[in-house]
C-alpha cells in the first residue's frame, strides 16, 4: 500500500471539541433537467466521506428536479452566473468544489462558466463529466487556473480532451494502442499532470494518479463499478478528503483507493452485475473502517 494512503488516516481523526465547520464545506455544481441525481450522488459521497457541510449548486430551472431526489442533509444554492458561484465560495468559506456531474454539455456556456470559476478561486476543484468535456482540445487553459485542479476522466474522456471529435487521426489510433500498456499509461498521466500543473486521475482498471512528480496506481476495484454515477461518487470522496488535508495529492490517492474498496465491498453484497452507485456510497464508511480502522 502506498505510504501516502497509509498516512492519510491522521486527517480523518476528529477532536471531541470539533464541529462541522472543521471538516470542510463541499460545493457540488451539477445537475440538469434529466440528470439531477448525478449531483445528489456526488453530495452523498462527500457526506459519507466526512465533509462537514455539502451544498448542491444548481440553476433555478433545475432546482425542483434536484430537490425531488435529494436527501435532507444536502443544502441548495441557486445560481445564474459564474460570479454568483464565486461570491458564494468566498462568503460561505467553501473548501472544495466538484464541477460537472450531470450538467448539460453546452460547449460555449459551460466552458465560460468553468473557466471563470477555476481562474477566480484558490481552492481544490474537481473537474469531471461535462465540465471536463467543455475543455476538449483546450487543455492549455488549465495552466492559467488559480484553483488547484483535479481532473478525473476515464480513457474515452481523456481521448476527447486531447483530440476532440477527430477520431480518425492517425495519432489517436496510435495513442489508443499505446495507452493500454500500463508503463506507457503511467508516463502519459505523469507528463500530462506536470505539463498542466494539475493532479490528474485517469480512471479505469489500474486507475493512475499523478501530480507531475509522483505516480500512484490503484490495483483494487471491480468491474461491478462500471455503472452510472460511479464517477460522481469518486468526485465527492475526493472533495471531502481535500477538505481535511493540506496534501491534495495524498487526498486524491486516498479517495481513489477508498472508492475502489467501497466498490469491492458493495460487490460482496450485491454481486458483480447488480451494484449501483448508491451501493458504493453506502459502503464508504465500511471501506474507511476496514482500511483505516475506527478512527
**Which residues are documented as binding site for (6S)-NADPHX?**
38, 102, 154, 232
Residue 150's closest CA among 132, 126, 121, 178? 126
Residue 222, Cβ neighbours under 10 Å: how many?
A: 17
DSSP β-bridge partners for residue 78: 58
Going by the annotation, the residues of the binding site for AMP are 203-207, 231
CA–CA separation, 268 and 281 (whole Å): 14
Cell of 36: 439531477
Q: What is the CA radius of gyration of the chain?
A: 18
Do the beta carbons of residue 257 and residue 266 sit within 8 Å?
A: no
Q: Where are the alpha helices (DSSP H) in 7-147?
A: 37-48, 63-68, 82-91, 107-118, 129-133
Q: In what order do the strands lie in the sheet with 215-218?
A: 75-79, 53-59, 25-29, 96-99, 124-127, 148-151, 199-202, 207-210, 215-218
Cα end-to-end span (Å), the chain: 18
293 secondary structure, DSSP code: -
Going by the annotation, the residues of the binding site are 38, 102, 154, 203-207, 231-232
Cell of 138: 483546450
Amino acid at each position: 500500500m502506498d505510504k501516502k494512503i497509509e498516512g492519510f488516516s491522521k486527517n480523518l481523526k476528529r477532536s471531541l471539541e470539533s464541529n462541522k465547520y472543521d471538516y470542510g464545506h463541499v460545493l457540488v455544481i451539477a445537475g440538469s433537467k434529466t440528470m439531477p441525481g448525478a449531483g445528489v450522488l456526488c453530495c452523498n459521497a462527500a457526506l459519507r466521506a466526512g465533509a462537514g457541510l455539502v451544498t448542491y449548486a444548481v440553476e433555478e430551472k433545475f432546482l425542483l428536479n434536484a430537490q425531488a431526489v435529494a436527501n435532507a442533509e444536502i443544502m441548495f444554492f441557486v445560481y445564474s452566473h459564474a460570479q454568483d458561484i464565486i461570491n458564494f465560495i468566498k462568503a460561505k468559506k467553501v473548501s472544495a468544489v466538484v464541477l460537472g456531474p450531470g450538467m448539460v454539455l453546452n460547449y460555449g456556456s459551460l466552458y465560460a462558466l468553468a473557466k471563470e470559476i477555476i481562474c477566480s478561486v484558490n481552492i481544490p476543484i474537481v473537474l469531471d463529466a461535462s465540465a471536463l468535456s467543455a475543455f476538449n482540445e483546450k487543455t492549455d487553459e488549465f495552466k492559467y487556473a488559480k484553483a488547484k485542479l483535479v481532473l478525473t476522466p476515464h480513457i474515452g474522456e481523456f481521448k476527447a480532451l486531447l483530440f476532440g471529435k477527430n477520431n480518425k487521426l492517425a495519432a489517436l489510433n496510435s495513442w489508443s494502442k499505446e495507452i493500454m500498456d500500463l508503463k506507457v499509461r503511467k508516463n502519459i498521466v505523469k507528463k500530462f499532470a506536470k505539463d498542466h500543473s494539475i493532479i490528474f486521475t485517469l480512471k479505469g482498471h489500474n486507475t493512475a494518479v499523478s501530480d507531475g512528480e509522483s505516480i500512484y496506481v490503484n490495483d483494487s476495484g471491480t468491474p461491478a463499478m462500471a455503472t452510472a454515477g460511479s464517477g460522481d461518487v469518486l468526485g465527492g470522496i475526493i472533495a471531502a478528503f481535500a477538505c481535511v488535508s493540506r496534501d491534495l495529492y495524498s487526498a486524491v490517492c486516498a479517495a481513489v483507493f477508498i472508492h475502489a474498496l467501497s466498490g469491492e465491498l458493495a460487490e460482496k453484497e450485491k454481486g458483480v452485475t447488480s451494484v449501483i452507485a448508491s451501493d458504493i456510497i453506502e459502503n464508504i464508511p465500511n471501506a474507511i473502517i476496514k482500511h483505516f480502522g475506527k478512527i
